[in-house]
A and B are shown apart, each in its own frame.
Chain A
Amino acid sequence: MSPSTPTDDEDMAYRVAALPLEYGETRINQLFTRGYNRYVVDGEDQPEDLVNDVERFGTAAFKEQVRVDAAEEPFVDEPGTLAVLATLSAICVKENPKFEHASPRNIQVLYDIRELYVNNLASLMHAHGDGSLQQDIADVLYSKEPGEDGPHPGRVCTGITEMPEFGDGLYLEIPMAAASRKCLVREDESSTGNDDGGEILTRVKDNNLYVPVGDFDSKYRDYAERAFKKLLRVQEDGLSDDQLSWLTTNESAITERIDRFLETGHHERIWRNWDRGERTIRVLRRALSDAPDDVAQKGEFHTAKELYRAVTAYDAEDEWESSVTDWISSPSSLAKTLADHESHSAVTIDRDGRVNTYRIGRAGTGAEQIEVREIEDLFELPCMANMEERLHEKKPVRKDLYNFARMVMWLPQYQDSSLDEIVADLKDVFSRWPWYDEQETEYQVRYEFSNTIDGDTPLPMNCDNDDLQRYCIGQDQCPYSIWGSLPFPDEMYEQVEEESAGPAEQF
């Protein structure tokens, strides 16, 4: 009997997909063959299906919720397919001309694809088999370096079992003779506030260690990150130039999404470690917005110490934010960064006093805020309400259309959406007006979206725009202002500051 291969044996496919660092290129290529076989129907290749799935996988990886959900419910239901889709998506990203000179280590999108792969694989494995795969993996994850006595002769993990006496959940059973410090799981430092190692959660019984299975999951995640790199390398080595150019020519969705993020200023979604000064200032803004008024405020002058206090109190939301807050280690390091980025339009340093003070961003506008859940909410602005009323009677002029489109494209909930989704939602709004023609509106909206200014998304109109004057109820009458009342992201205001020579308080 010939030995089973990942191409034709599911268990073997799981083993190679889960532990690629333990296998050679031949086995990994057999795993890919299994994945590609899914796109062969009656002996015929189905390249379009493959590209569609690669695009679906690659674009889904941008969405944090999809990545998170994949850890519970597989996004792709088969290890070979998963390996193929994840590696081909990553290759599409690496081949994007925008990344021509970039190191893969700086491309956030690749990390997102890897995360989707790792989470997906973890949930697939949970659902697969009787736990023997997990035991094989545990043997790899918890094996110790060979010592003077040679390798441990038996299995490292002798079982995965419930141990009610130690609490709920599963435990990995590891004989003391096979134990190493890898098996000592500690309570999370962040939950104990203790930085010299939390309490040991690993338990002992009958000369075995019992390691909480949660540790297996996090160790496996680390392993899988390295494993993905190997899969990617084997896939890259295996693709011919023709295959590669066929793939990149036919794929467009992933490229389009990356381009859009770049156009809309979502640097953090594309780049890891993008401009340090810019990142610091963004985090400072968010920290100041979060800080109680009596601690620090945006647009006020503060000492470095006060700003530092606001940063340390700030609960970072993203990985890039945490890296910034970790990196600001003291008031003096913060002061130094701000001095280094004094030319940034959002930073003003006052050196007249006894100690330097720093102002970040702009003063509040006092405008009433509008919560925008759907596009219709924009009609809460009196000018937009006037426009809505007028459009029932007259066809729009082009300024009206692009005013609308630009406002929408800057709304936070549309920043991650595909153009198709935005167009669909806008058509839904426009269909209320009598002159509505589906084809025409679609064309016009798409035209506005393709109309960038040197690659930057055009700013939404503000209240001082002449074309808006015909709908305006008078700025002194109005409790709102377009730029002050709508929940535009910081990126938009940064663009305002970059483009505007005037004082930041203009609105």
Chain B
Amino acid sequence: MTWRQATREEIYAYYAEEFPRYLDDLPEFITATGPKQYAVAFRESHPVRKDEVPDKDFIRRDTWQTDASGDRTTPEFDDLEDVVEFIRHPARNDPLGRSKFALADPEVLEQPDPRPDAVYYALDHWERPWVLLVDIDAKEIARDRADEMVSTDLDDRGDDALLDAAGILDAAPEGYPYAFEDIDRAIEYGFEVRDIFEDDFDAEETMVVYSGQGVHVYLLDTDPAHRYDEQSREVLNDLLLETYDIPIDPVVTADRRRVARLPYSLHADVCSIVQPIESPAFDVRSATPEVIDE
């Protein structure tokens, strides 16, 4: 099992060879024109065409051009193949085209073609209500665990000191701010949340996605009773955190502008494929792509 950053070559190989095989498995609401945006993060910042604009390490691209009133006019991607092309060569296939704010063409630069450290899609959607996602992060679980294990006088010394004192930095995967057991715990919580969605919130369509360092739990029903707006989602957050005692990141759920890691994209910091999972017994070791040299 590899718990390290993927190399540029590995990232390129993954999106060229392995990722296209998963396109048919993507959840059906993830299409070329459904999510309002796709977004890509780079390991190193890349320049844009306009000189005074700072280099970018994260770019969002709309899936549609819109008119003055915000209505859709022209799609940016014809199909998912176009999206894959953008992911593979973001600078060469930037939907902004020749706009001054598009990424600079790699051919005119000494710097190499940027590679996606992470790929995201927008939770806000053109064809269905805003997607509901709950984020459970192993880092949060590890920090809570450290808080309980270590005496409070370390509180002022920052997270790293706390995690170090609790032995978490030394535990596998070494050097990461959590241990594998924290990821396993996040996955367990994820399935607890799914059960809560199904049992108490009458959800029929749910999904748990392994995100690389935690899980995303989706409530995907689109009927009016499940069209939770921001205020309903704040209530959901409070209930999950307090009544059900689940350590979620509440900001993600109630923020319409959020992007989520695209299922089957590569979490390049940990060489893991983001993917829907079926059971708390999911083994994170199985998420390493074939293209990664162990």
Contacts and interface: CB of A to CB of B under 8 A. Distances in A.
B230 A176 contact: no
A176 B231 contact: no
A292 interface: no
Contacts of A144: 229, 231
A204 to B, nearest CB: 5
Contacts of A200: 238-239, 242-243
Interface stretch (A71-79, A103-111, A180-188): A180-188
Contact of B238 (A148, A154, A181, A207): A181
A153 B225 CA distance: 10
Contact of A207 (B130, B201, B231, B256): B201
Contacts of A148: 229-230, 256
A359 B23 CA distance: 83
Interface string B210-249: 0000000000000011111111101110110011000000
A3 to B, nearest CB: 30
Nearest to B201: A207
B244 to A, nearest CB: 9
A476 interface: no
Contacts of B224: 153-154, 177
Q: For this complex, into which size category does the number of interface residues on chain A fall?
A: 20 to 34
Interface string A141-181: 00011011100111000000000000000000001111111
A100 interface: no
Contacts, number: 68
B235 A207 contact: no
A178 B225 CA distance: 9
Contacts of B228: 176-177, 179
A421 interface: no
A49 to B, nearest CB: 50
Nearest to B256: A148
B228 to A, nearest CB: 6
B235 A176 contact: yes
Interface string B253-265: 0001000000000
A179 B202 contact: no
Given A148-B256, A200-B239, A200-B242, A207 B226 contact: yes
B235 A184 contact: yes
B9 interface: no
A153 B243 CA distance: 27
Nearest to B196: A204
A122 to B, nearest CB: 27
A147 B229 contact: yes
Contacts of B242: 199-200
Tell me whether chain B's interface is mostly helix, strand or loop, or mixed.
helix
Contacts of B243: 200, 204
B242 to A, nearest CB: 5
B192 to A, nearest CB: 14
A177 B242 CA distance: 20
A146 to B, nearest CB: 9
A180 B239 contact: no
A175 B234 CA distance: 14
B79 to A, nearest CB: 29
B256 A181 contact: no
A22 interface: no
B200 interface: yes
A176 B232 contact: yes
Tell me whether chain A's interface is mostly helix, strand or loop, or mixed.
loop
A145 to B, nearest CB: 7
Interface string A340-356: 00000000000000000
A206 interface: yes
B239 A204 contact: yes
A149 B227 contact: yes
B202 A206 contact: yes
Interface string A124-152: 00000000000000000000110111001
Most A C-beta atoms less than 10 A away, residue of B235, B238, B239: B235
B200 A204 contact: yes
Contacts of B200: 204-207
Interface string B81-113: 000000000000000000000000000000000
A179 B226 CA distance: 11
A177 B226 CA distance: 6
A148 B254 CA distance: 12
Most B C-beta atoms less than 10 A away, residue of A179, A180, A184, A209: A179
Given A176-B201, A204-B201, A209 B235 contact: yes
A80 B54 CA distance: 68
Contact of A181 (B129, B227, B234): B234
Contacts of B229: 144, 147-149, 152, 177
A482 to B, nearest CB: 60
Contacts of A179: 228, 231-232, 235
B49 to A, nearest CB: 33
Given A148-B256, A200-B243, A176 B234 contact: no
B234 A180 contact: yes
A177 B203 CA distance: 13
Contacts of B234: 180-181
A327 B107 CA distance: 70
Contacts of B256: 148
Contacts of B201: 176, 204, 207
A1 B201 CA distance: 44
A200 B237 CA distance: 12
A206 B201 CA distance: 5
A180 B238 contact: no
Given A144-B231, A204-B201, A205-B200, A176 B238 contact: no
Nearest to B129: A149
A154 B221 CA distance: 18
Interface of A: 144-145, 147-149, 152-154, 175-181, 183-184, 199-200, 202, 204-207, 209
30 contacts: A147-B231, A148-B229, A148-B256, A149-B129, A149-B229, A152-B229, A153-B224, A154-B224, A176-B232, A176-B235, A177-B228, A177-B229, A177-B232, A178-B232, A179-B232, A179-B235, A180-B232, A180-B234, A181-B231, A181-B234, A184-B235, A184-B238, A184-B239, A199-B242, A202-B239, A204-B200, A204-B243, A206-B202, A207-B202, A207-B225
Given A147-B229, A176-B225, A176-B235, 19 more contacts: A144-B229, A147-B230, A148-B230, A149-B227, A175-B225, A176-B201, A176-B232, A176-B236, A179-B232, A184-B235, A184-B238, A199-B242, A200-B239, A202-B239, A204-B200, A204-B201, A206-B200, A207-B202, A207-B203
**6 smallest A-B Cβ distances: which pairs?**
A180-B231, A207-B202, A147-B229, A179-B235, A204-B200, A149-B229
